[in-house]
Amino acid sequence: MNLAERLNRNAARRGSASTGKGKVKAVPGKKKTHAESQDHYFDVKTRIHGRLIDMIDLSLLDKLSETEMRVEIAKVAEGLLWEEFQNAPLNMAERKRMLSEIQDEVIGLGPLEPFIKDPTVNDILVNGHNQVYVERAGRLELTPARFKDDDHLRKIIDRIVSKVGRRIDESQPLCDARLLDGSRVNAVIPPLAIDGPSLSIRKFSKDPLEVADLIGFDSLTQGMAQLMEGIVRTQLNVLISGGTGSGKTTLLNCLSRNVPEEERIVTIEDAAELQLKQEHVVRLETRPANIEGKGEITMRDLVKNCLRMRPDRIIVGEVRSAEALDMLQAMNTGHDGSLTTIHANSPRDALMRLETMISMAGLNLSPVSMKRYISSAIDVIIQATRLVDGTRKVISISEVTGMEGEMITMQEIFAFEQTGVDGDGKVLGYHTARGIRPKFAEKLERMGCPFPTEMFNVSPLARKEARP
């Protein structure tokens, strides 16, 4: 007996008791409002979903691929749809929509599933059960999708976090997690979320962006890309700075492509989302405390542990707290070529944040000692920014040159000059070299990455033509 026959026999045996209950009957002469129709639609879908869960054995479905699962669920759901709507039948488009949504409820993320599969969607933002926004091409737009109620949204949140060994409840009402494809998830529930559960999903492409794509999007230039390749191959320590949604992780992924295959890489993240393509990679992920408040593994614990794992490169997804000290210690004690990201609005702000994070570690260091420690560890700061039109650009590549008195000194190698905004709100501007030869140019040449001097020749004519 195949799976479909077993499911149908199960449906006949356990569903007969409820046959005829809750059927949809047409009421002549009475027209429903759109809101009433939507509520009615959700009620029917929820009822069919509940009966479907009672009828089928989900353990059997786990043995199938997603396509096969959808086929088997559709076979059982078709009969239930006919029972529910025999007096008010659905047309083909409505039936197809209902079946698709029921399949998404059983094996996917319910109303969010179409956006998960849509490659044009970058972010999914759920503000309570009846408001779902998505971001396309840097612009937010409200969608017609919604959940039946807060309980429905909570079930989807629980499904997401449980798959990666996390939990969310009244004792721990916020959670960082990820989807199985690496997409970043943040969930907040009451009492912290006043208007109902909130869910934010930062999607990651199955085919990650490469440097060539960033050049095509005018996020950086060919010269900047060549310089960043040399920086990584020469094992300089790099700090990628930027605000939320500015493309720091994408840039970190692109830079990691230049790490030689023979090197051992250890990655450390709160929620694993980096997409490295090398073979020799060890991925570490933090763990929250259990329901008893025990068992937490922090970023700082992982950074300390990875130093015992013989890494050639350490890549920290993002430094947020006291782990910054351990990361800088690794950079200063033989682990050259380390990469990490930080939230900051400018390279100077990034250095100030690092000072604050070091002070969180509880060490009694003077401000000057902290600055000297930072200046000796960090070689290059790459600043990424999301502009007002939604585009993401690398707006600065700066070299940390050392200390001058009590100030960390830097020199900017590349920059983005904004010249204005056109009538459609699109930012106008150009990338330019500052005409400065960095101090690490000699190291690039020693390591077999010749420094391309010609890319730093700044042409006044090129600047003039770049202006609108």
Together in a domain, 351 and 370: yes
pLDDT at residue 459 above 90? no
Q: Are residues 413 and 342 in the same domain?
A: yes
Clarify whether residues 163 and 307 are in a common domain. Answer: no
Burial of 26 (0-12, 13-18, 19+ CB in 10 A): exposed
Interval 162-201: pLDDT, tens? 888 888 988 889 888 888 777 889 999 999 999 899 999 9
Report for 61-65, 147-151, 368-372, 463-467: range of highest mean pLDDT: 368-372
pLDDT at residue 252 greater than cutoff 60: yes
In this predicted structure, the answer to whether residue 300 has a pLDDT above a threshold of 70 is yes
**Domain's final residue, options 107, 133, 160:** 107
If asked whether residues 198 and 253 sit together in one domain, one would say: no
Q: Identify the residue with better confidence: 4 or 364.
A: 364
**Interval 297-318 mean pLDDT:** 90
CATH code, domain carrying 189: 3.30.450.370
Are 126 and 222 contained in the same domain? no
User: Tell me, what amino acid is at 200?
Assistant: S
Q: Examine the fold and report which residue of 90, 107, 124 is the final residue of a domain before the chain moves on.
A: 107
Does residue 129 sit in the same domain as residue 77?
Answer: no
Q: Report the pLDDT averaged over residues 334-346.
A: 91
User: 460: pLDDT confidence band, cut at 50, 70 and 90?
Assistant: very low
Q: Report the alpha-carbon distance of residue 384 to residue 10 in Å, rounded.
A: 56
Residues 12, 132 within the same domain: no
pLDDT on residue 8? 53
Q: Measure the CA–CA gap between 142 and 163, rounded to whole angstroms.
A: 28
Overall number of domains in the chain: 3
Residues 101 and 118 in one domain: no
Contact 270, 284 (CB under 8 A): no
Q: Is residue 143 domain-shared with residue 192, that is, in the same domain? A: yes
Identify the CA nearest to 82 among candidates 126, 123, 51: 51
Task: From 143, 141, 71, select the one nearest 106 (Cα to Cα).
Answer: 71
Q: Which domain holds residue 121?
A: 113-202
* Among 160, 183, 202, residue at a domain's last position: 202
Residue 432 pLDDT greater than 70, yes or no: yes
Stretch 37-54: mean pLDDT: 66
Same domain, 221 and 252: yes
Domain shared by 197 and 223, yes or no:
no
The answer on 101 and 120 residing in a single domain is no
